[in-house]
Structure 1
């Protein structure tokens, strides 16, 4: 027994010694990270130019903590580790967001969004005491500012003189931007001029998104057209040639595919559930109404037939301006139908109302169809679908409809086709895609010609939408609220999303200028950045 015990302890000692030696060898084999180097880049005076994506805009507004976690500010914090200087921003006064002008709310510039458990709502819905205090007349900060990101700016706006002139906000159309009013060195200056006045040694430029985004978020209704190619080319090439004066180095990013963002992918094309007590019981009546129109649709174009399912989710009804307008055909066919007066009688309408109702139905459904999976709906449409359009009700009542019947014919996306501004049809998406590709070709060529670092933001955001983007221990996706990358407006990034994008910029800078932010372990840890901010933060 003694001998056996001795051998057992000897064996245990050998195993222990071997394990310790193995651990020591493993420890010795771990190579220390290299020392951080900036390579050939000079970050001593870093200036960032762009729009809302570089300003730190998030959750539908510009607010202080989001600015402090803007993508350029995150970059500057890493640049500071290797000679980068101070980085100043035109911080807002609060974490509510929104703008005032002389104490009055500036229309269209409301407070930030928060999540109420069901969807995005203004912070004031959950925190009535939240107050906007950033006033573009009374309390503007003093520059110069290293972050020259101006929310809403298009490519050519960065060149425009007087873009910070207060009176220009009230011109028609406006010639100024309220965010630049806050930060301009003078009323006559331009964004580019204020950037160059700082003699930057390194710059980042991420501009052009709004040149297509304005068209997209307005549903392609024509109120905010895509920038023409010649204007974009001139503006972008002028920006690059000016910023690289004297051989200044920098990094540029291209334009993301806006249609891949949750602003356009969250609202389904078929949100009408038969289980919805406000919709389900109406389905038989709706199918009876559209039953009077469907024979006409079938004769002209079977794809226009409108039928609501009593068992499955149904698509909304939209106006598709790419369709031939058959208003006249509908009106004529209904007026010629011997059964149309009897059809109207079911709704309490006399035969004398037939011409009026036929004309209304013709105008309402002349370019209508039910949506398909190829249609994309802007995020705000979720608050509109299924609601009563009061303007439509008033107009129908003037034509002799009772209030109840007028309301029945004024349900958005059901009996009243959704207007163009709420949906991007395939032809509009094709316009956006073509413009994005063309603009990105200009950006790529300019980056190549000036030998600048280049970030393929389009590919990165497409990756987010398709499979997710891994950054550190996290995989970000494009899902609204839960994905971590996109803020509650569905277009702009969260602070964590901006941190992940900053890492992509750093990787591109490494590749071009032989810096080693990634290899030396100096990418940022995105876990240190929020994906949302509470309604109590103000």
Structure 2
């Protein structure tokens, strides 16, 4: 039972796979007359100095899209595109720690540890990994200096951490920074400052909360505590502003505006799917027993029912609920009809205590999802699949293979684990942390008189109303929207062009420059190869 993938191809042709139009999105430019070539625009930096531009941040700065870093993606990273506009007004060369191929991913000692990138397969109507094996070896260190100091996976405090690029510290060290660190114990900030930047961009902090969100808030990647975040950000911004008073700082987008958290519906179980629909009577019979227990225990809202006429919600494990495992087992063991129910599955009546215990363990915190739950993007390939580990466990507990499989279907008979779902209490944690972190970033931008890009508000607008950029209309819809790449969180090249244009407008306003914007239709929304 797999989730229906028909959403992928709805309007794919509209997002423009390659540049096919030419719009003049430039700002109004002053002109000078050349007797040979005619009028040409004159661009100035205003009070800013773009001669040495250094960009500091995480994967959003490095140019990650489609799940990894690869050369074509780096070519259209927002700092690289921004540097090309800066070059029109005195900006110098801009270097990046390029990945060695367009496959993406990394090797460490010859073993693949990341990648490859995703591409969209129209025939399958779904994303898939590109064919090929990564060739970029982490231990082949090529120290900079690099103008693009974006380090994928970095959190705020990582920019200050000695040894974050020390190969001897791997896997605690960051493999991307290992490749580019000037020395094993250099910090990201030190390597950025060593270039004496005259203008900088800083976009850091998303991973301080995003790691918690993308893991379904299961606790394996906790939110950075506020004191640590504030201390790190203050140290970073004050150091950069001391080196150069000219720069732009960006805040953290809200997870609810990214398709990673909004694409998979809470009710994807379609009764017209023969693999699922044919099982509904049996499933409702099984859960009917459990629902009676829920009613007896005073929690009828936990009842699980699958509709034969409409899409049904998946079953999830909600750790915020009281764990009723022991109570469920106790009620079932006390029920005079439960042994007969167990026998209806071909099991002996003597197996009733074992099954009662399994029901308690599996459904102690179970409920069906609702519109307030966010299913993360990878869950779409998990829902409806037999969990082999759970099936094996049930078989060792005495259930035959067919029955063990029937009770191990992800999101149907087996509640989805915490890692697949952000429940409302977890979303509140994420939103509160994002708001607090963004207040810190805003305060620092004001304190050090920097241009400030409110990414949070901008992407909320894209998600809510869409955004017109020249002849391209972009939304936050997965695949068809054009703003986000196939990983569901990082922008596509076209999405990064929006970031560039917003930054240019803010820089022009803050520093009196007159840089031109870029044409978004010159940048692809989805890679097909």
TM-score by length of 1: 0.90
Aligned to 2:88: 81
Could you say what secondary structure the match of 1:279 adopts? helix
Aligned to 2:527: 533
The counterpart of 2:136, out of the listed 134, 140, 153, is: 134
Aligned to 1:241: 238
Q: 2-side partners of 1:493 and 1:100: how far apart?
A: 24
Could you say what secondary structure the match of 1:47 adopts? strand
Deviation, structure 1 residue 260: 1.6
Question: Contact (CA 8 Å) 1:91, 1:141: kept in 2 or not?
Answer: no
Q: 2-side partners of 1:247 and 1:257: how far apart?
A: 29
Q: 2-side partners of 1:433 and 1:31: how far apart?
A: 41
Aligned to 1:484: 482
Aligned to 2:65: 58
The two structures, once aligned, show a CA RMSD in angstroms of 1.2
Displacement over 3 Å in runs of 4+:
30-35
Post-superposition Cα deviations, 1:122-178, rounded to whole Å, max 9, x if no partner, equal: 113xxxxx221111113x3341100000000000000101110112113xxx2x100
Q: 1-side partners of 2:468 and 2:202: how far apart?
A: 24
Deviation, structure 1 residue 247: 4.7
The counterpart of 1:224, out of the listed 221, 224, 237, is: 221
Q: 2-side partners of 1:84 and 1:37: how far apart?
A: 10
Aligned to 1:168: 169
Could you say what secondary structure the match of 2:137 adopts? coil
Q: 1-side partners of 2:445 and 2:323: how far apart?
A: 46
Could you say what secondary structure the match of 2:261 adopts? helix
Aligned to 1:303: 301
Aligned to 2:152: 151
Aligned to 1:70: 77
Aligned to 1:414: 412
Does 2:102 match 1:95? yes
Q: 2-side partners of 1:512 and 1:329: how far apart?
A: 63
Aligned to 2:322: 324
In the TM superposition, 1:284-295 aligns within 5 A as: 284-295=281-292
Q: 1-side partners of 2:81 and 2:151: how far apart?
A: 17
Question: Contact (CA 8 Å) 2:211, 2:223: kept in 1 or not?
Answer: yes
Does 2:370 match 1:372? yes
Q: 1-side partners of 2:421 and 2:133: how far apart?
A: 33
Whichever of the two has the greater Rg, that structure is 1
Question: Contact (CA 8 Å) 2:377, 2:488: kept in 1 or not?
Answer: yes
Question: Contact (CA 8 Å) 2:121, 2:528: kept in 1 or not?
Answer: no
Question: Contact (CA 8 Å) 1:393, 1:410: kept in 2 or not?
Answer: yes
Q: 1-side partners of 2:126 and 2:100: how far apart?
A: 26
Q: 2-side partners of 1:365 and 1:142: how far apart?
A: 53
Aligned to 2:118: 113
Structure 1, unaligned runs of 5 or more: 1-29, 125-129
Aligned to 1:199: 196
More helix by share: 1
Deviation, structure 1 residue 416: 0.3
Question: Contact (CA 8 Å) 2:196, 2:243: kept in 1 or not?
Answer: no
Could you say what secondary structure the match of 2:128 adopts? strand
Deviation, structure 1 residue 32: 6.2
Q: 2-side partners of 1:308 and 1:406: how far apart?
A: 20
Q: 2-side partners of 1:247 and 1:71: how far apart?
A: 20
Could you say what secondary structure the match of 2:247 adopts? strand
Deviation, structure 1 residue 301: 1.6
Q: 2-side partners of 1:32 and 1:511: how far apart?
A: 16
Deviation, structure 1 residue 281: 0.3
Structure 2, unaligned runs of 5 or more: 1-27, 32-40
Question: Contact (CA 8 Å) 1:263, 1:379: kept in 2 or not?
Answer: yes
Could you say what secondary structure the match of 1:120 adopts? strand
Aligned to 1:461: 459
Post-superposition Cα deviations, 1:374-422, rounded to whole Å, max 9, x if no partner, equal: 1001100001000000000110011100000000000000000000000
Deviation, structure 1 residue 515: 1.3
Does 2:424 match 1:432? no
Question: Contact (CA 8 Å) 2:62, 2:151: kept in 1 or not?
Answer: yes
Question: Contact (CA 8 Å) 1:468, 1:478: kept in 2 or not?
Answer: yes
Q: 1-side partners of 2:133 and 2:336: how far apart?
A: 62
Could you say what secondary structure the match of 1:105 adopts? strand
Post-superposition Cα deviations, 1:212-269, rounded to whole Å, max 9, x if no partner, equal: 0000000000000000000000000000110011552100000000122000000010
Post-superposition Cα deviations, 1:71-130, rounded to whole Å, max 9, x if no partner, equal: 000110000000000000000000000100122212xx1200111232221113xxxxx2
Q: 2-side partners of 1:301 and 1:516: how far apart?
A: 63
